[in-house]
Amino acid sequence: MKLILTEEEQFLKDTATNFANERSPINHFRSLRDSNDPILWDKNLWNEMSKLGWPGIMIPEEFGGSNFGLSGICVVLQECAKTLTPSPLFATGVLGAYSINTYGTQEQKEMYLPAIVNGKLTTSLAVDEASHHNPFQTEFIAKKQKDNYILSGKKTFVIDGASSDLIIVLARTSGSRGDSTGLTLFVVNADQDGINKIKLDMADSRNYANITFDNVTVSSDAILGDLETAGETIDDILDIGRIAISAEMLGNAEAAFDTTLDYLKQRKQFGVLIGSFQALQHRAAEMFCEIELTKSSVMAAMRAADERSNDLQRLSSLAKTVSGETLHLVSNEAIQMHGGIGVTDEYDIGFFLKRARVAEQIFGSSKFHTERYANLSGF
């Protein structure tokens, strides 16, 4: 496991850096936020990303993808996160593509993967039902009726849930709340009768929804993976998602830090640059170190995912914890070091703070993963 980028990954990264700077600088995000756009990402931009092949990075060549794995898409997500680029790349290109490609039947793969590759199909993953991430607390019910299943319940905080074409939903086919067994994943068309999407307004102005299912009928062909194996598969899918969101959070932290560092080298008070004050220098140096640790953690985790390492779960929790804590620190310090303009809406740095706190909650906070790390390490 080498902790350096391959040539292909470096190429993807450079392409993504240019794309983010030229096609979606932070103003792109700002204007979406200020518009009344219900989707909060731009369809034209998504078409451009699709033409670059990004939704298919994790999809095998036989379905039109490029098969660069989680590492490939992580470097793209990291770069796009530097300008806060909103897009379905995480929910569709990572969560949708990975779960269908890894656990889907041949029919499901043929039906969905090529459509994901060409940017025509977007997906969402509906897991949680309360304010804190906890997949095994699922109460959402799938009741068998002859050859069909009847889905009922409410899912919360579904990323891209306000607009996705396809919902991958975690349901209980037996057992009760808290059990890790009796769970099954279903792939459901979002426009089916009985599905109601309630758009959420979150601090980071991105696309989320609560989704209610009121006796939605699906056939047993809609099951993703085998019946009642989702206790394990959902954890695997979530681990892939946790690593990808960690890469995004690393990109957020790097950008917030670089912006702050520039400011320290421009802003004068008391007749000198504020970056010459040791009180600020030491805090900047500490942030630099935390970001370096985060880079290594994210890279080790994405490599572990692509190599199917035995240590994947632990490294996923490591990456989510470290990136969460680093981004938490950097987003706070960035505001403080910017002084008054840091708390104005006109200035961009506040976007990073709002994004940070939402991203910290996605698929488990640092606290959740610190506990999980201890469990997985045998103490």
If we measure between CA atoms, which residue out of 219, 215, 229 comes closest to residue 149?
219
User: Would you count residue 265 as binding other proteins (CB under 8 A)?
Assistant: yes
Nearer to other proteins, 74 or 300 (CB): 300
**Span near other proteins by CB under 8 A; candidates 17-25, 119-127, 257-265, 351-359:** 257-265
Handedness of CA 112, 54, 238, 29 (dihedral sign): negative
Query: Alpha carbon of 313 to those of 102, 178, 373: distances in Å?
Result: 17, 20, 8
Looking at the Cβ atoms of 206 and 328, the one nearer to other proteins is 328
Q: In whole angstroms, how close is the CB of 2 to other proteins at the nearest point?
A: 5
Residues 161-180 that bind other proteins (CB under 8 A): none
Instruction: Kindly state whether residue 292 participates in binding other proteins, applying the rule CB under 8 A.
Output: yes
CB 347, min distance to other proteins, A = 21
Residues within window 311-370 making contact with other proteins, judged by CB under 8 A: 318, 321-322, 367, 370
Task: Compute CA distances 320 → 16, 164, 305, whole Å.
Answer: 22, 25, 14
- What is the crossing angle of helices 349-361 and 312-338, to 10°? 150
Mark 6-35 with x for binding to other proteins (rule: CB under 8 A) and - for no binding: ------------------------------
Q: Smallest distance from the beta carbon of 350 to other proteins, in angstroms?
A: 23
The half-sphere exposure of 160 on its side-chain side, counting CA atoms within 13 A, is 24
Residue linked to tokens 């299912």: 213
Contact call for residue 299 and other proteins (CB under 8 A): yes
- b vs e for 231-253, b when ≥16 Cβ sit within 10 Å of the residue's Cβ? bebbbbbbbbbbbbbbbbbbbbb
What is residue 228's three-state secondary structure? coil
Q: Rule CB under 8 A: is residue 266 a binding residue for other proteins? A: no
Contact status: 273 vs other proteins (CB under 8 A): yes
In the chain, the amino acid numbered 19 is F
Interface with other proteins by CB under 8 A: which range of 48-56, 233-241, 243-251, 265-273? 265-273
278 binds other proteins (CB under 8 A): yes
Asked if residue 306 binds other proteins (CB under 8 A), the reply is no
Q: 191 φ, ψ to 5°?
A: -95, 10
Is residue 262 close enough to count as binding other proteins by CB under 8 A?
A: no
* Binds other proteins (CB under 8 A): choice among 61, 310, 340, 379: 379
Q: How far apart are the first and last CA of the chain?
A: 26
Output the CA–CA distances (angstroms, integers) from residue 335 to 13, 263, 317, in the order listed.
Answer: 28, 11, 27
Closest approach, Cβ 256 to other proteins, in A, equals 14
- What is residue 141's three-state secondary structure? strand
285 binds other proteins (CB under 8 A): yes
Most distant CA pair in the chain, distance: 79
Nearer to other proteins among residue 212 and residue 370 (C-beta)? 370
Least distance from other proteins to the Cβ atom of residue 183, Å? 23
Contact residues toward other proteins (CB under 8 A) are 2-4, 261, 264-265, 272-273, 275-278, 280-282, 284-286, 288-289, 292-297, 299-300, 318, 321-322, 367, 370-371, 373-375, 377-379
